[in-house]
Amino acid sequence: MCMDFINNVALNLFFSFMIYGFLFVVFYFILSRLVFRL
């Protein structure tokens, strides 16, 4: 039970970290394109 809960939390943290990392990369790419255009 305890290990299952820890596994679930770790999976949720991993997926949220992946989603935020992907959003950060996209945001950084758009920002760099805007800066280069200026």
* Rounded Cα–Cα distance for residues 15 and 30 (Å): 23
| Number of domains the chain contains | 1
Amino acid at 11: L
pLDDT at residue 3, rounded to an integer: 84
- pLDDT tens column, 1-38: 578 998 999 999 999 999 999 999 999 999 999 998 87
pTM score of the predicted model: 0.56
b vs e for 6-30, b when ≥16 Cβ sit within 10 Å of the residue's Cβ? eeeeeeeeeeeeeeeeeeeeeeeee
* Parent domain of 17: 1-38
